[in-house]
Structure formats: structure tokens, C-alpha cells
């Protein structure tokens, strides 16, 4: 039985989860022990293992944590989750601090681009269209998502309102009718 190790100490969230998922995808069966330096990272790895249907255990070692994940057989990887769309209506994720919201939005799209559970499409409207334009902090992740087959659309009326039509850097321009048709026929995740 194969036993791999991964050192994720010093990595910021969500990097330990992303690196662990990558390593697990290379492991057909066996165990993976991941070293992290904070309790949040440890808890996130335990949640990851649980979400993948894998058994995991953790223990504290001095100032660090080790999380051992057991993989019995190759887990099935999912392609685009048919019928799931993401609706993004703003530049930030959550309310309270725009600075934190910008960081969270960047982290969300980075993690989504590394995920095996991809949405069918992402729709940007209102201030959210700015995320699909030149200079966006999430542009790299959106380009990766598009290359993985995720459809990306920006509301044309919104782009016109913000005078950003010429700056659209990823995806296609769409209209409210098309957005309504798609989101009423799908399972929608609103950011």
C-alpha cells in the first residue's frame, strides 16, 4: 500500500486543500499524510476528506498538525455538474469589509478552478461584470474555468452601464432574457 506525504505548512487558505486534492488525485489507493501549521487548515482537510467520502484522522505534533487521509479506491471525478449555475451580482463576496470580500472572491474562484465539481455556467450581472473584465483579480481563474468547459456570461446591459463592454476579457455578452431562462431551469448558487 502506497503512503505519500505532503508538507503544506506556511501555505495560506485554500492552498492546503488545493494541494491535498491534487495529491489525492494522483493516489489510486493508499494513505496521504499532510502536515499543516494551523487548526483551520487541519479542519479544512478533515472536511475535504469527508466531502470526498474518505476516512481521515488528525493529530497534533508540537506546533503542527498531521492529517492522514485513507483512500481505498480511485474516487470518481466529476466533470461539469449539469444544471448548476453560479450567479455573481457583485465584485466582493459577503458583506462587512470590501477588502476582505475581494480576497474571499479571489479565493473562491481560485478554489473553484481547482475543483472537480464545476458548474455548467457562471453569470455575472450588476457590479459582478467587473470581475470578467481586464484587470480583474479573478481573471486568471475565470480563464481557467472557461478552458475547463465552464460557460461564462456577462450581462450586456450591465457592461454598458459601467462602460466596460470593450474591456470584457473572458466569456460572452448575454442579455437578461437568456439569464432568466438559464437560471430558472437550473440549480442556482448566488454569490
Q: What's residue 5's pLDDT?
A: 95
Domain with CATH 3.40.1260.10 in the chain: 80-190
> Cα–chain-centroid distance for residue 32?
22
Domain with CATH 3.30.110.40 in the chain: 2-71
pLDDT 10s digits, 102-138: 999 999 999 999 998 899 999 999 999 999 999 999 9
Cα separation of 168 and 171, whole Å?
A: 8
Identify the band that residue 77 occupies on the pLDDT scale cut at 50, 70 and 90.
Answer: very low
Q: Which of 23-32, 46-55, 149-158 has the lowest mean pLDDT?
A: 46-55
Answer with the residue of higher pLDDT: 106 or 77.
106
Instruction: Record the cell numbers describing residue 24, joined without a space.
Output: 489525492
pTM over 0.85: no
Q: What's residue 82's pLDDT?
A: 53
Write the secondary structure of 33-66 as one string of H (helix), E (strand) and C (coil). EEEECCHHHHHHHHHHHHHCCCEEEEEEECCEEE
pLDDT 10s digits, 149-167: 999 999 999 999 999 999 9
Q: What's residue 160's pLDDT?
A: 94
CATH of domain 2-71: 3.30.110.40
CATH match of 80-190 with 3.40.1260.10? yes
Q: Which of 5-14, 61-70, 76-85, 168-177 has the lowest mean pLDDT?
A: 76-85
Identify the band that residue 76 occupies on the pLDDT scale cut at 50, 70 and 90.
Answer: very low
Amino acid at each position: 500500500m502506497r503512503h505519500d506525504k505532503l508538507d503544506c505548512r506556511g501555505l495560506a487558505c485554500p492552498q492546503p486543500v488545493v494541494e491535498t486534492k491534487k495529491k489525492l488525485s494522483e493516489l489510486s489507493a493508499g494513505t496521504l499524510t499532510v502536515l499543516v501549521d494551523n487548526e483551520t487548515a487541519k479542519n479544512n482537510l478533515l472536511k475535504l476528506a469527508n466531502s470526498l467520502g474518505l476516512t481521515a484522522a488528525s493529530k497534533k505534533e508540537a506546533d503542527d498538525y498531521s492529517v492522514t487521509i485513507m483512500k481505498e479506491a480511485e474516487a470518481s471525478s466529476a466533470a461539469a455538474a449539469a444544471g448548476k449555475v453560479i450567479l455573481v451580482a457583485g465584485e466582493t463576496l459577503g458583506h462587512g469589509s470590501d477588502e476582505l470580500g475581494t480576497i474571499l472572491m479571489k479565493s473562491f474562484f481560485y478554489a473553484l478552478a481547482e475543483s472537480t465539481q464545476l458548474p455548467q455556467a457562471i453569470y455575472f450581472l450588476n457590479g459582478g461584470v467587473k470581475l470578467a473584465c481586464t484587470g480583474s483579480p479573478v481573471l486568471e481563474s475565470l480563464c481557467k474555468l472557461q478552458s475547463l468547459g465552464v460557460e461564462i456570461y456577462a450581462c450586456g446591459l450591465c457592461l454598458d452601464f459601467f462602460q466596460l463592454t470593450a474591456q470584457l476579457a473572458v466569456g460572452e455578452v448575454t442579455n437578461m432574457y437568456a439569464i432568466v431562462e438559464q437560471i430558472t431551469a437550473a440549480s442556482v448558487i448566488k454569490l
